[in-house]
Amino acid sequence: MANERPQLSGNELQQLRWLLGGSLALVSIWAVWYLDAEAWPLLGLATVATFLVLWRPTLPSRIPVWLHRLAFPAILAGFAFDFYTFGQVLPSLVRLAVMLLAYRVVSYRKRRDDLQLILLGLFLIVSTGVLTVSIGFAVQIVVFTALALGLLLTRGLVDVAESGSESTDGAAGNPPPPWAQVSWVALFGRVARASDWRVWTFAVLLFASLVGVSAGLFLAIPRFQLESSLFLDRWMNRRSVTGFTDTLRFGEVSDIQNDESIAFRVEVGDPRRLPETLYWRMIVLDEYRDQSFRLSKELKLAGFGRLLTDWRLPGFGFPDQSANTTQWTFYVEPGVSRYLPLLSDFRGLVFTEPQTFRASAQLRMIELSRDPSTMKAFRVDRGAMSGTIRDPLFEHRSPMAAGRVLGRTALEVPFPAEEQTVWARAVAEILGGKKLPAAEFSRAAAHWLQAHHAYSLQSRLPKGPQDPLTRWAMSDEPGHCELFAGAFAMLARTAGFPTRIVGGFLGGTWNGDYLIVRNSGAHAWCEIFDEAGNWVRVDPTAPATGQVGGEQRPELRGALVAETGWIARLDRLRMFWYRRIVNFEQRDQVNLVKALRAGTESSSKQVRFWLEQNVQRFKRWLTQPWNLGRIASVAGPIAMGAWLTWFWRRTGRDWWLGWRASRSKRSDPIRREAGRWLERFASARRHGWESPVATAGIEAVLQRLRYGAPQSWPVPEPVFRQANRVFKDWRRAARRSSENRA
Amino acid sequence: MSDFVPQAAVTATQRAFERLRTSMRQTIKGKDDVIEHVLTCLVAGGHVLMEDLPGVGKTTLAYSLARSMDCTFSRIQFTSDLLPSDVTGVSIYDEHVREFIFKRGPVFANIVLADEINRATPKTQSALLEVMDRARVTIDGEPHTVGSPFMVFATQNPVDYEGTFPLPESQMDRFLMRLHMGYPQAPDEMDILRSARIAYDTIEVNAVTSAGEVVEAQRLSHQVFVEDSVLEFILKIVAATRTEAEFKAGVSVRGGLALRQAAQARALLHGRDFVLPDDVHHLIFPVLAHRLALTRPSSDAREERQAIVSALKRIVGAIPQPV
């Protein structure tokens, strides 16, 4: 058919592969120009070398084999010298990558070498991009990706074209492969004729759209902090914040209780010391106003410190001294609250990354600067689990402070006088004419409440002009935890005990080796200030019998049941992932790297000092007068070295090869070496080397070494030396013959 | 195989078979590759199935081989009424000595030409195949050893299958190689036309080697060294035929052993006491192709064989030779 497109031959695909590999190397090398890596001469040399081999792909065949063999050790030695002399890790690595890249570019590459070329280029591009963060990086990575994809595609096509036949990749020391004779203009013409513009257009559009979408996501999603993104955080916050704020309206906790999703997970340091019932404190609410409890401005100002940005926080209160190794690790889901769940006292707290927050040692609370939209993890050392919190500041409050700031809100019953009378009557009924201490009063008040009200999430408020809390407390209607806690607080305050509401979570369930706390575990309880200067936890909610302090409710024993089912298994997977990504030792690692770098710099200084000293010493030694003894001291080691070399080549090497052969049957080095020489001869013959040099004799001996019985082998080393001589003669003769023909 | 072969013995064998090769070339023109394979088969102690049209020189080839090494030659024309005893021999009563004596059949020769083997009944074919396998005939419980060396040249016509009993695959496996003569090139055919040859038994061939030398070569060939990578190469080829979907069944273990033996024989003929991968590569098609059958057999036998060779070529192409 006249309009049939030609197909690219194997040689043309190889030429295309060579061009793409060279271009990829150039892009990678040029990326380093943006980096202050002090590699200008190296970059210049690598660029020139790349252009040369692109212009003449036959050039790599002219590189002597010994140079090819020495290149890699020399590059490694250069890197070691560079690193020890200058003591800079990254610039040395970049220079190493440039050298390796240049080495790969100027040699014929097999499949593995093409992949190495891509990886080295990727290292250079990404290193430059991360360090410079320039728009040029975006362009370079796009161009690099396109070239790498093209290179991989052509590599695959070459492999398919050559499947089952001899590879034409070329090799060091061999004649140039047939495709190395290239005319780029002719190749481009062939590629153009073989290409379908529709496929090209589709491919370019696909790649462009992929780049476009990636760029969009790159701009929209910040690399490290989702909070810093352009718009996504607002979407997420609106959708996901369901938890506690600093104002608690009646019914809010009940709303949260309907949410069965996970609020946070906790890794418990010592499960044996875990109480049966866990109260996870998040927020303290001291002021009752506008039919809701809230954290008063006064308390917030007095109790909280300034806004900090740190990843570490010193402890609160009086940590559990007996539990030296107890650590609690919290993984708080986004949207739960900006207040972090805590038990009570602790020795220290560490975040995985620096956070902006306020902390209150007095209230045992931590408030993040904004509602987190990603999972937040923190670790608490020596967390205490008691139900009492010491508060010396509140205990020793000045009359002014007590009346105006710290005491007012905790004692305030903000009702009109006639309503306060109602509450006073209730308190009188509870006290029964006696004066009770805080703990006794708490039990009696909780008892009184539970005698009048049942627990229900569906509470009903009687109608009337009074405050809803008064209406409920003085009725027989069932209620939820907020109403119980609120009513208790008002009763205690009326009786003269400072009392506050605490919002948080109750209990949890085991899933493997960690606890799950769900939003449905949201709870409100009270803290009453006792005569000993402690805030004592009181949970007046039915069916509890007025649990006070660290008392355990018998009916809640075993409440920490285990989760089962595939959802639990999935959650364990999620926890596994959290544990993988959460790293509390990040700062320690940074410090370690800094220490390593300092150590490297110091050792490199020592090495330089040692070198300088020895050079000076050598110079002094050279300038001393020469006599027979000194000459002998120099000539002796040289002669010994020469003899050792001769002995090694004569006997030692054969012994070494034989010993290795006896140890490993499959990787017999003599057979391998003979095989390499046979392949070299065969490759030369395939490439049409013509010369009068007789190779049959040496090839027969090499065949015996490669395939013959070991007991029939000649001594291998002279055979390989002779093969080397014959091959060189052959190559010389072939070149002369080729030049004569030209 | 592990015994070391003295170089002098290798060289002597190479020279003897070079003489044999030269002698056969004088009668069989332009078929050096077939002569090469036949000699390889002889040294390996195997038998040849010649598949070709009548009149292309199959009988002449067998005859000239026998004469060149001073060995006995017999020809059996297989027909549908041929009996096993017509091949192996029969015990008859001798009145003079008053006992049964064994009268040897035509199989008691060094080179036996079994012409058109597929025309005989399976029973007769089996009788010959037993001799091929064991190199002896058992009549009335008494074994009778055939000639040494012993080689069977069986022939069959690849086109005319009417009234024939095709050899089953298990019996095809007994032949070391299947060869095709093909028509000679024009200049070679001109030489044949010029010569005053009337029948194969009128050709004058001088013995250039002895049966003893051939037997010695057969013994030596078993000692030729095969390196592990070459054995792995054979193993890969054999294994690949077993997983190829186009084949009904892969090459048997006997097939793999046959390839190794043939490669050892070829190495010896080339003056080597070790096998090269090239030896194996040269022998893959003659040694393995007739042991394979297609999953979907074709109605045309030649087309089917072509398909087998193509599939085998593809398989071998995908297996790299050891370097």
Q: Do A603 and A658 have their domain in common? A: no
Banded model confidence at residue A543, pLDDT cuts 50, 70, 90? low
Chain A residues lying within 8 Å of B274, measured CB to CB: 703-704, 707-709, 712
> Residue A345: how many CB atoms within 10 A of its CB?
22
CA separation for the pair A357, A340 (Å, rounded): 10
Instruction: Give the number of C-alpha atoms closer than 13 A to the C-alpha of residue B58, restricted to the C-beta side.
Output: 25
**Domain presence at residue A241:** no
Whether residue A678 lies within 8 A of chain B, CB to CB, comes out as: yes
Three-point CA angle A107, A110, A115, nearest 5°: 95
Candidate from A163, A707, A711 with C-beta closest to B227? A707
Kindly determine whether residue B276 and residue A679, on different chains, have CB atoms separated by under 8 Å: no
Q: Please list the alpha-helical segments (H only) found in A221-269.
A: 232-240, 252-257
Work out how many domains chain A is built from and give that number: 3
Exposure of B175 by Cβ count < 10 A (0-12 exposed, 13-18 middle, 19+ buried)?
buried
Q: Do A90 and A184 have their domain in common? A: yes
Kindly determine whether residue A704 and residue B274, on different chains, have CB atoms separated by under 8 Å: yes
Please give, rounded to a whole number of angstroms, the shortest distance from the CA of A163 to a CA of chain B: 7
Q: Do A596 and A735 have their domain in common? A: no
Radius of gyration of chain B (CA): 20
Whether residue A665 lies within 8 A of chain B, CB to CB, comes out as: yes
Q: Do A59 and A168 have their domain in common? A: yes
Chain A residues lying within 8 Å of B275, measured CB to CB: 707
Which is more confidently placed, A583 or A598? A598
Whether residue A160 lies within 8 A of chain B, CB to CB, comes out as: no
Question: Final residue of a domain: which of A194, A220, A246?
Answer: A220
| Report field, pTM of the whole predicted structure over 0.95 | no
Lowest mean pLDDT among A93-107, A468-482, A600-614, B54-68: A600-614
pLDDT, tens digit, 9 for 90 and up, residues A163-199: 766 677 877 777 788 888 888 888 888 888 888 888 8
ipTM comes to 0.84
Chain B residues lying within 8 Å of A163, measured CB to CB: 317-318
Kindly determine whether residue A708 and residue B227, on different chains, have CB atoms separated by under 8 Å: yes
Which is more confidently placed, A486 or A129? A486
- The DSSP bridge pattern shows strands B151-156 and B48-51 to be parallel
| Mutation to test the A interface, candidates B274, B284, B313, B319, most A Cβ within 10 Å | B274
Kindly determine whether residue B274 and residue A712, on different chains, have CB atoms separated by under 8 Å: yes
Kindly determine whether residue A707 and residue B2, on different chains, have CB atoms separated by under 8 Å: no
Kindly determine whether residue A707 and residue B228, on different chains, have CB atoms separated by under 8 Å: no
- Tokens 């010298």 belong to which residue? A81
Q: Is the pLDDT of residue A47 over 90?
A: yes
**What is the residue-averaged pLDDT of chain A?**
80
Radius of gyration of chain A (CA): 40
**Domain presence at residue A390:** no
CA separation for the pair A127, A36 (Å, rounded): 12
CA separation for the pair B321, A622 (Å, rounded): 59
**Domain presence at residue A280:** no
Candidate from A164, A703, A709 with C-beta closest to B317? A164
Q: Is the pLDDT of residue A257 over 50?
A: yes
| Mutation to test the A interface, candidates B220, B227, B314, most A Cβ within 10 Å | B227
Which is more confidently placed, A638 or A141? A638
Q: What does the pLDDT read at residue B235?
A: 92
pLDDT, tens digit, 9 for 90 and up, residues B133-151: 888 888 888 888 888 899 9
**Domain presence at residue A177:** yes
Interface of A with B in 505-524 (CB under 8 A): none
Question: Final residue of a domain: which of A571, A595, A624?
Answer: A624
Candidate from B4, B230, B322 with C-beta closest to A712? B4
Exposure of B21 by Cβ count < 10 A (0-12 exposed, 13-18 middle, 19+ buried)?
middle
Please give, rounded to a whole number of angstroms, the shortest distance from the CA of A181 to a CA of chain B: 27
Banded model confidence at residue A229, pLDDT cuts 50, 70, 90? very low
Q: For B106-117, what is the mean pLDDT?
A: 90
Q: Do A102 and A178 have their domain in common? A: yes
Please give, rounded to a whole number of angstroms, the shortest distance from the CA of B247 to a CA of chain A: 20
Percent of chain B whose predicted confidence (pLDDT) is above 90: 36
Most confident option among A566-580, A612-626, A657-671, B228-242: B228-242
Q: What does the pLDDT read at residue A236?
A: 39
CB A525 within 8 A of CB A279: yes
Kindly determine whether residue A708 and residue B225, on different chains, have CB atoms separated by under 8 Å: yes
Chain B residues lying within 8 Å of A712, measured CB to CB: 4, 225, 273-274
Whether residue B9 lies within 8 A of chain A, CB to CB, comes out as: no
Q: What does the pLDDT read at residue A36?
A: 67
Which is more confidently placed, A229 or A489? A489
Whether residue B276 lies within 8 A of chain A, CB to CB, comes out as: yes
What is the helix (H) or strand (E) element at residue A509, kind and residue range? strand A509-511
Q: What secondary structure letter does DSSP report for A403?
A: I
Comparing alpha-carbon positions, the chain A residue that sits nearest to B273 is A708
pLDDT, tens digit, 9 for 90 and up, residues A564-588: 788 888 888 878 777 766 666 556 5
Q: Do A620 and A648 have their domain in common? A: no
Which is more confidently placed, A149 or A372? A149
Whether residue B270 lies within 8 A of chain A, CB to CB, comes out as: no
| Mutation to test the B interface, candidates A707, A712, A713, most B Cβ within 10 Å | A707
Please give, rounded to a whole number of angstroms, the shortest distance from the CA of B11 to a CA of chain A: 14
Question: Final residue of a domain: which of A220, A236, A251?
Answer: A220
Q: Is the pLDDT of residue A262 over 60?
A: yes
Lowest mean pLDDT among A60-74, A210-224, A411-425, A508-522: A210-224
**Domain presence at residue A556:** no
Q: Is the pLDDT of residue A147 over 70?
A: yes
Banded model confidence at residue A554, pLDDT cuts 50, 70, 90? very low
Closest CA to A27 of A129, A112, A109, A113: A129
Candidate from B225, B230, B318 with C-beta closest to A709? B225
Whether residue A672 lies within 8 A of chain B, CB to CB, comes out as: no
Whether residue B314 lies within 8 A of chain A, CB to CB, comes out as: yes
Instruction: Give the number of C-alpha atoms closer than 13 A to the C-alpha of residue A610, restricted to the C-beta side.
Output: 8
| Residue A687 lies in domain | 643-741
Strand, helix or coil for residue A6? coil
Which is more confidently placed, A443 or A249? A443
Whether residue B8 lies within 8 A of chain A, CB to CB, comes out as: no
Chain A residues lying within 8 Å of B228, measured CB to CB: 665-666
List Cβ neighbours of B23 (8 Å cut-off, separation of 6 or more): B64, B68, B205, B206, B208
Please give, rounded to a whole number of angstroms, the shortest distance from the CA of A161 to a CA of chain B: 12
pLDDT, tens digit, 9 for 90 and up, residues B199-213: 666 777 888 999 999
Comparing alpha-carbon positions, the chain B residue that sits nearest to A665 is B228
> Residue A512: how many CB atoms within 10 A of its CB?
14
Please give, rounded to a whole number of angstroms, the shortest distance from the CA of B304 to a CA of chain A: 23
Q: For A427-456, what is the mean pLDDT?
A: 87
**Domain presence at residue A172:** yes
Kindly determine whether residue B274 and residue A165, on different chains, have CB atoms separated by under 8 Å: no
Q: What does the pLDDT read at residue A455?
A: 81
Please give, rounded to a whole number of angstroms, the shortest distance from the CA of A72 to a CA of chain B: 24
**Domain presence at residue A521:** no
Whether residue A41 lies within 8 A of chain B, CB to CB, comes out as: no
Percent of chain A whose predicted confidence (pLDDT) is above 70: 83
CA separation for the pair A232, A472 (Å, rounded): 43
Please give, rounded to a whole number of angstroms, the shortest distance from the CA of B312 to a CA of chain A: 13
Kindly determine whether residue B225 and residue A675, on different chains, have CB atoms separated by under 8 Å: no
For the four alpha carbons of A367, A369, A371 and A373, in that order, the dihedral sign comes to negative
Torsion of CA A374, A375, A376, A382, to 10 degrees: 170
Q: Do A91 and A192 have their domain in common? A: yes
Kindly determine whether residue A703 and residue B276, on different chains, have CB atoms separated by under 8 Å: yes
Whether residue A703 lies within 8 A of chain B, CB to CB, comes out as: yes
Closest CA to B241 of B258, B230, B260, B255: B255
**Domain presence at residue A713:** yes
CATH code for B7-317? 3.40.50.300
Banded model confidence at residue A548, pLDDT cuts 50, 70, 90? low
- Tokens 């400072």 belong to which residue? A498
| Mutation to test the A interface, candidates B3, B234, B315, B323, most A Cβ within 10 Å | B323
Q: Do A685 and A618 have their domain in common? A: no
